[in-house]
Amino acid sequence: MVSVRRDRRGGGSEDDADADTDDGGDGTAGDGPSTPQDRVTETTLPGTGAAGDGGPDDSGTASAVEESGAASDDIYGRAELYTCIPERVTRSLFEALHANVLMSATLRPFDVTEDVLGLDDPVTMAYGPQFPEERRRTYAVDGPPLFASRRDEPDVQRTVTRVLEDAVRMTPGNTLAFFPSYAEAERYHGRVSAGTAYLDEPGTPATDLRERFTDDDDGVLFTSLWGTLGEGVSYDGDDARTVVVVGVPYPHLDDRMEAVQRAYEATFGDGTDGDAGWRYAVEIPTVRKTRQALGRVVRSPDDFGARILLDARYTERAAIEMGEYAVRGAFPPEERAEMIDVDPEKLQFGLLNFYGDLDAYDGNPPTP
């Protein structure tokens, strides 16, 4: 599984090769990664197969190679060879045990988990949401599809800003806002004027930031969904009431990610259309991260909160009009059934009614 880039621009460094790699952020489906000129996809590395064969070696590894040089023919670069199919490691571990119990709120789809971990004919059980339905709401906001190519459009930024401000104003407590990248989180941290803003930045300790945020009562935390605050962290009760996932947070679709996709396609696909590589390596992990972020609120039967998906690709309409770009179908059926499609300007009324019915406001409710 090889991906090679040659750069003959003279004086260029490998850091120039991809400008959009700030934090593993979205290379959004349909846009494709940024594509330097003179990209070459044939080379031979020990253990990776013949040049350009497009298949992984027997150990399920993928390799990404970058080569660059000055005006001369001198070549320098970096090569990665790494295991990207967990089954190569986990199958023998599970087979050595008498029995295994795997539990998570995001194991589905089971067929993908079984393949990736190397589980043979497991017994599977799925339970829907266990807490009272009337204490949670999930909104799919029919705003602009936030493809990377559209994020700099003024109208798109105004719509996203307005929805975030409405969510913060109508929330009786703190709001979590997850973005495809730290750069997008920083962008809207500078635009949203409602609430007390907290910005999570790459390379900075998150513990103190989280404590300051949860000690507040009208805070809004801007962070990347691929950071440390969206998975394995609980925001109980008043710590956070509303969570917003802005966009579909696909990983950055660079040479490395393309190599991983090809490794999954070669291992689990039928060799016809490449769907397995996309589904196993990109779509399912992205939807899992999104579902994990939505699960940061409503942590007990007595808790309550709202979850907001801000992108047209989450709506029921997208499944009909946007084809393969729609992502609603990748959610479990009981979660899809709870999604309420709403226009951007009407979200504030939905939140007002939801929190008002729960007597969640301290004093008079906010005015739309």
In this structure, is residue 263 part of a structural domain? Answer: no
Looking at the structure, do residues 98 and 230 belong to the same domain, yes or no?
Answer: no
Structural domain containing residue 155: 133-252+285-357
Residues 137 and 226 placed together within one structural domain of the fold: yes
250: DSSP letter: P
DSSP secondary structure letter of residue 15: G
Question: What is the full DSSP assignment across 3-14?
Answer: -EE---SSS--G
> Residue 95 domain-assigned?
yes
- Please write the tens of the pLDDT for every residue from 264-286: 999 998 866 668 889 999 999 99
Residue 18 lies in a domain: no
Site of tokens 């349909």: 30
pTM: 0.78
> In this structure, are 319 and 242 located in the same domain?
yes
306 compared with 227, residue with greater pLDDT = 306
Indicate whether 93 and 231 sit together in one domain: no
Give the residue ranges of DSSP H helices in the chain: 87-95, 110-117, 154-169, 182-189, 207-215, 255-268, 275-278, 284-294, 316-321, 333-338, 347-357
Backbone angles phi, psi at 356, to 5 degrees: -65, -40
CATH number for the domain that contains residue 240: 3.40.50.300
45 part of a folded domain: no
- Which pLDDT score, from 0 to 100, does residue 296 have? 85
**How many Cβ atoms from other residues are within 10 Å of residue 217's Cβ?**
13
Query: For residue range 309-340, what is the model confidence (pLDDT) as tens digits?
Result: 999 999 999 989 998 899 999 999 999 999 99
Q: Assess whether 153 and 99 both reside in one domain.
A: no
What is the average pLDDT score of the chain? 81
Residues 340 and 246 in one domain: yes
| Structural domain count, the chain | 2
In this structure, are 330 and 196 located in the same domain?
yes
Cα distance between residue 258 and residue 176, in whole Å:
31
Residue 62 in this model has a pLDDT that exceeds 70: no
Question: What single letter denotes the amino acid at residue 158?
Answer: R
Q: Token pair of 210, please?
A: 């989280």
Strand-pair partners of 82: 62
The residue type found at 326 is: A
- 207 and 306 inside one domain: yes
Helix (H, G, I), strand (E, B) or coil at 179: strand
Three-state DSSP class for 236? coil
pLDDT digits (tens, 9 = 90+) for 52-61: 344 445 455 6
pLDDT of residue 220 exceeding 80: yes
The answer as to whether 317 is a domain residue is yes
> Is 236 found in the same domain as 111?
no
Q: Are residues 246 and 102 in the same domain?
A: no
Residue the block writes with tokens 């064969």: 53
The answer to whether position 211 is within a domain reads: yes
- Kindly give the pairing relationship between strand 305-310 and strand 136-141: parallel
More confident residue, 130 or 46: 130
Render pLDDT for 162-210 as a digit per residue (tens, 0 to 9). 999 999 999 999 999 999 999 999 999 999 999 999 999 988 888 889 9
Domain-embedded: residue 128: no
* Statement to judge: residues 192 and 293 lie in one domain: yes
Shared domain check, 107 and 140 = no
Where does the pLDDT of residue 235 fall: very low under 50, low under 70, confident under 90, or very high at 90 and above? confident
Nearest Cα to 246, choosing from 205, 316, 299, 187?
A: 187
Q: Is residue 206 part of a domain?
A: yes
Identify the helix (H) or strand (E) that includes residue 69.
Answer: none
Q: What is the pLDDT of residues 68-121, one digit of tens each?
A: 555 567 777 777 777 788 998 899 999 999 999 999 888 888 999 999 999 998
